[in-house]
Amino acid sequence: MSYPYQITSKEAYQQAYKKSVEDPEGFWSAIAENFQWKKKWDKVLEWRFKGDGAPVVKWFRGGKLNITENCLDRHLNTLGNKPAIIWEPNDPEEHYRVLTYKQLHQKVCTFANVLKNNGVKKGDRVCIYMGMVPELAIAVLACARLGAIHSVIFGGFSAQSIADRIQDGNAECVITCDGAFRGNKTVPLKAVVDDALVQCPGVKRVIVLTRTRTPVSMIKGRDVWWEDEIKKVETMGNPDCPAEEMDAEDPLYILYTSGSTGKPKGVVHTIAGYMIYCTYTFVNVFNYQPGEVYFCTADLGWVTGHSYVVYGPLAAGATSMMFEGIPTYPDAGRFWDIVDKHKVNILYTAPTAIRSLMAHGLDFVKDKDLSSLRVLGSVGEPINVEAWQWYYDYVGKKRCPIVDTWWQTETGGIMITAIATVTEPIPAYATLPLPGIQPAVMDEHGHEITDMETSGNLCMKFPWPGMLRTTWGDHERCFKTYFSAYPGYYFSGDGCLRDKNGNYRITGRVDDVLNVSGHRIGTAEVENAINMHVNVVESAVVGYPHDIKGQGIYAFVITEGNHDNNDDLTKKDILETVSRIIGPIAKPDKIQFVKGLPKTRSGKIMRRILRKIAEGEMHNVGDITTLLNPDIVEDIKKGKV
Ligand code: PRX
């Protein structure tokens, strides 16, 4: 496969950028020509960021296609026997698996027929809660084959979180595994689903894949085994499954993500624009060359897994590594062993993983053969200079460019980044916008700052094909969250600096959203979960710098009565409550019991002060004279944990 839209020089980058601003429709339609359409589009772009019913964003209106034909069928003649997915299991002793494009195509068709037999049709929502096994990718693609909308839930979320997501999307079918292997642990996925389904009478079918042989309860009439259903399709003969004709703007998936208020919202991505955007960014950012082995360590429960383990690489005909385990099992050399074993050329991972491996020392990396590596990527949070340098020196052996890719669940694909081998990486900077992306930096009065060297809030002033179209079931919420702060602009929720050459440095969230080990968690969500505990009166959650996780979760909690004697037990109970309500990933790292919280006269918690205390900036908490209860600040400082 060749990529006529691949940018290979600085001049070409500049030209492409210019073209994308001056003639965005021409720019994107030329790229869209490289995909397989059942019917071409009538209009490239229709958009409105403000006004009634906004945002309205339609790319390739009138176009008809199926994304799986682009990810699978069209490669069969040329790449049929080439690996599409190489899967490395949690336990290195277990044999890895390779699925060629032909095999993956066949498995997706078979499983799409399984879904059909179980009543799933175009437009239905299917909830997927599985470990990182190849069948997860197969399930996702099988939904897309039928035009069903998948909603993948990360394995670290609780039964309650699953129930919330199933109810929000009205899913009638759930796909899961008996369990998942994670390091030396087994996570009982089916049991968690069972707990969730107590609250979800609308779910008619649960399809269960065998992975861990964890005992499960199979409910008659509702639960079926993946393997049995496959057999049924196979004994019926031809397992082929024609790809449903979909509209360019039909939803492809829902992915829930946290914001500063309320429950997580379902970000909706639509088919054509998303497909084109993730493929275009994949090929360019990593400078992918046909035949190379590309390894993105992300879980499919997050957007990075959707865009850069499955859709982007497969639409580009690439070989995508899928990894079931964790970076430190059986030891902190696991990534490097995989790189060596499969001769990985491109590695895309998160700063938190790099920091945790750094902490284990050089012994696990220094003697590994990493000579196959050519390009390194980073995603999910700002990468600190120390981690950047370690990645560059010891993993890339000072030979491999690091692309620090800034983007979000809502953007569908990478937005601001260096382009490997083309533009210059700068430690701690995401650097430049990709062609097609028009960032704007806003001042505190809501105006765009036109000076090059500046800082402010990061917005986008023009649509791109991969952007979210709505939040599931609540378009107004989409408008309010992303398009109301700066009318006419998409607001990312991030702050940034821009240097005199136009390079962007992302400084982190400016709203009440935390980034813990690259996982996005709303402080309000964690507070709501803590407040569910019977002894808790009120709580306030803020982030603080954490060596490995980037940000840690610090909770200030007011409890009923006196807990001097059993603080530890209460803390454990609170952690258990958060695990139950959201999932283990949202457990606070520190809990401090307090008698009161600093509040304004109108009763608003002054998080700014709490943040300073959590960060250890005791002498610099700012003005406290406007507080209702200034005395409480000293008290809280004294009790800092
Ligand atoms: O704050 C930014 C941070 O992660 C947020 C998006 O999180 P999520 O939607 O979960 O997507 C993560 C994977 C794309 C952003 O608002 N972020 C992501 N990448 C970077 C980053 N911050 C700095 N540098 C990055 N490269």
Long-range (24+ apart) CB contacts under 8 A made by 236-244 are: 239/106, 239/109, 239/110, 239/113, 240/109, 241/108, 241/109, 241/110, 241/112, 241/113, 241/116, 241/145, 241/146, 243/66, 243/68, 243/69, 243/73, 243/145, 244/66, 244/122, 244/145, 244/146, 244/147
Collapsing DSSP states into helix, strand and coil, what is residue 11? helix
Collapsing DSSP states into helix, strand and coil, what is residue 64? strand
Both structure tokens of 231: 């057999």
In this structure, the residue with its CA closest to atom 5 of ligand 1 is: 408
Å from CA of 428 to ligand 1 middle = 13
Both structure tokens of 508: 């982190």
Task: Report the pLDDT averaged over residues 61-72.
Answer: 98
Tell me the pairing of strands 64-65 and 97-100.
Answer: unpaired
Condensed to tens digits (0 to 9), the pLDDT of residues 168-208 reads: 999 999 999 999 999 999 999 999 999 999 999 999 999 99
Tokens 């296609």 belong to 65
Distance, in Å, from the CA atom of 460 to the CA atom of 482, rounded to the nearest integer, reads 10
User: Quick one: which atom of ligand 1 is closest to the CA of 509?
Assistant: 1
Distance, in Å, from the CA atom of 383 to the CA atom of 389, rounded to the nearest integer, reads 10
Collapsing DSSP states into helix, strand and coil, what is residue 548? coil
In sequence order, which residues have a C-beta less than 8 Å from that of residue 34 and are 6 or more positions away? 3, 4, 5
C-alpha distances out from residue 290 to 3, 236, 293, 403, 617, Å: 9, 37, 9, 19, 51
Q: Beta-carbon neighbour count of residue 570 at 10 Å?
A: 18
* Residue from 257, 406, 410, 511 to probe ligand 1 pocket by mutation (most atoms less than 8 Å from CB): 406
**pLDDT value of residue 565:** 60
**pLDDT value of residue 567:** 85
Phi and psi based region of residue 463 (left: phi greater than 0; alpha: psi -120 to 50; beta: remaining):
beta
Phi and psi based region of residue 181 (left: phi greater than 0; alpha: psi -120 to 50; beta: remaining):
beta
Å from CA of 386 to ligand 1 middle = 19
Which among 287, 397, 98, 306 has a CA at the least distance from the CA of 296? 306
**pLDDT value of residue 572:** 95
Both structure tokens of 47: 């958009």
Contact call for residues 639 and 594 (beta carbons, < 8 A): yes
User: Quick one: which atom of ligand 1 is closest to the CA of 404?
Assistant: 26
Contact call for residues 428 and 385 (beta carbons, < 8 A): yes
**pLDDT value of residue 532:** 95
Condensed to tens digits (0 to 9), the pLDDT of residues 80-120 reads: 999 999 999 999 999 999 999 999 999 999 999 999 999 99
pTM exceeds cut of 0.75: yes
Q: What are phi and psi of 236, to 5 degrees?
A: -75, -5
89 preceded by a cis bond (ω within 30 of 0): no
Neighbouring-strand partners of residue 506: 496
SS (H, E, C) 327-338: CCCCCCCHHHHH
C-alpha distances out from residue 320 to 11, 109, 290, Å: 30, 19, 12
In sequence order, which residues have a C-beta less than 8 Å from that of residue 196 and are 6 or more positions away? 159, 160, 162, 163, 166
Å from CA of 407 to ligand 1 middle = 5
Largest CA distance in the chain: 77
In sequence order, which residues have a C-beta less than 8 Å from that of residue 540 and are 6 or more positions away? 523, 527, 555, 556, 597, 605, 607, 610
Task: Report the pLDDT averaged over residues 35-45.
Answer: 98
User: Quick one: which atom of ligand 1 is closest to the CA of 304?
Assistant: 13
Task: Report the pLDDT averaged over residues 324-352.
Answer: 98
Condensed to tens digits (0 to 9), the pLDDT of residues 548-578 reads: 999 999 999 999 876 556 788 999 999 999 9
Å from CA of 292 to ligand 1 middle = 26
Eight-class DSSP state of 567? H
Q: Where are the beta strands (DSSP E) in 274-370?
A: 293-296, 319-323, 346-349
User: Quick one: which atom of ligand 1 is closest to the CA of 298?
Assistant: 13
Which among 389, 309, 382 has a CA at the least distance from the CA of 549? 382
* Pocket around ligand 1 at a 6 A CB cut-off: 257, 303-304, 379-382, 404-409, 430, 492-494, 506, 508-509, 515, 520
**pLDDT value of residue 177:** 98
User: Quick one: which atom of ligand 1 is closest to the CA of 508?
Assistant: 1
Condensed to tens digits (0 to 9), the pLDDT of residues 339-380 reads: 999 999 999 999 999 999 999 999 999 999 999 999 999 999
Contact call for residues 101 and 75 (beta carbons, < 8 A): yes
Collapsing DSSP states into helix, strand and coil, what is residue 55? coil
The stretches of 23-158 forming alpha helices (DSSP H) are 24-32, 67-71, 76-79, 101-117, 134-146
In sequence order, which residues have a C-beta less than 8 Å from that of residue 303 and are 6 or more positions away? 255, 257, 267, 408, 409, 412
Which among 225, 217, 226 has a CA at the least distance from the CA of 197? 217
Task: Report the pLDDT averaged over residues 375-388.
Answer: 96
Distance, in Å, from the CA atom of 197 to the CA atom of 32, rounded to the nearest integer, reads 41
**pLDDT value of residue 562:** 60
Contact call for residues 255 and 409 (beta carbons, < 8 A): yes
**pLDDT value of residue 238:** 74
In sequence order, which residues have a C-beta less than 8 Å from that of residue 397 and are 6 or more positions away? 370, 371, 373
Collapsing DSSP states into helix, strand and coil, what is residue 313? helix
Tokens 């012994």 belong to 363
* Residue from 285, 407, 492, 496 to probe ligand 1 pocket by mutation (most atoms less than 8 Å from CB): 407
The architecture CATH gives domain 517-638: 2-Layer Sandwich (3.30)
Side chain identity at residue 162, one-letter code = I
Phi and psi based region of residue 457 (left: phi greater than 0; alpha: psi -120 to 50; beta: remaining):
beta
Distance, in Å, from the CA atom of 640 to the CA atom of 632, rounded to the nearest integer, reads 13
Both structure tokens of 515: 């980034």
What does the chain come to in residues? 641
Which range in 82-96, 227-241, 613-627 is most confidently predicted, on average pLDDT?
82-96
* pLDDT band, very low/low/confident/very high, at 237 (cuts 50, 70, 90): confident
Condensed to tens digits (0 to 9), the pLDDT of residues 261-318 reads: 888 999 999 999 999 999 999 999 999 999 999 999 999 999 999 999 999 999 999 9
* Residue from 414, 520, 549, 585 to probe ligand 1 pocket by mutation (most atoms less than 8 Å from CB): 520
Å from CA of 162 to ligand 1 middle = 23
Distance, in Å, from the CA atom of 207 to the CA atom of 211, rounded to the nearest integer, reads 13
**pLDDT value of residue 164:** 97
Å from CA of 79 to ligand 1 middle = 33
In this structure, the residue with its CA closest to atom 15 of ligand 1 is: 408
Buried b (16+ CB within 10 A) or exposed e, 443-478: eeeeeeeeeeeeebbbbbebbbbbbbbbbbeebebb
Q: Beta-carbon neighbour count of residue 392 at 10 Å?
A: 18
Which among 356, 347, 404, 413 has a CA at the least distance from the CA of 381? 404
Å from CA of 546 to ligand 1 middle = 17
Break the chain down into helix, strand, coil percent, rounded to 5. 35, 25, 40
Contact call for residues 72 and 243 (beta carbons, < 8 A): no
With pLDDT > 70 as the criterion, what percentage of the chain qualifies?
Answer: 99
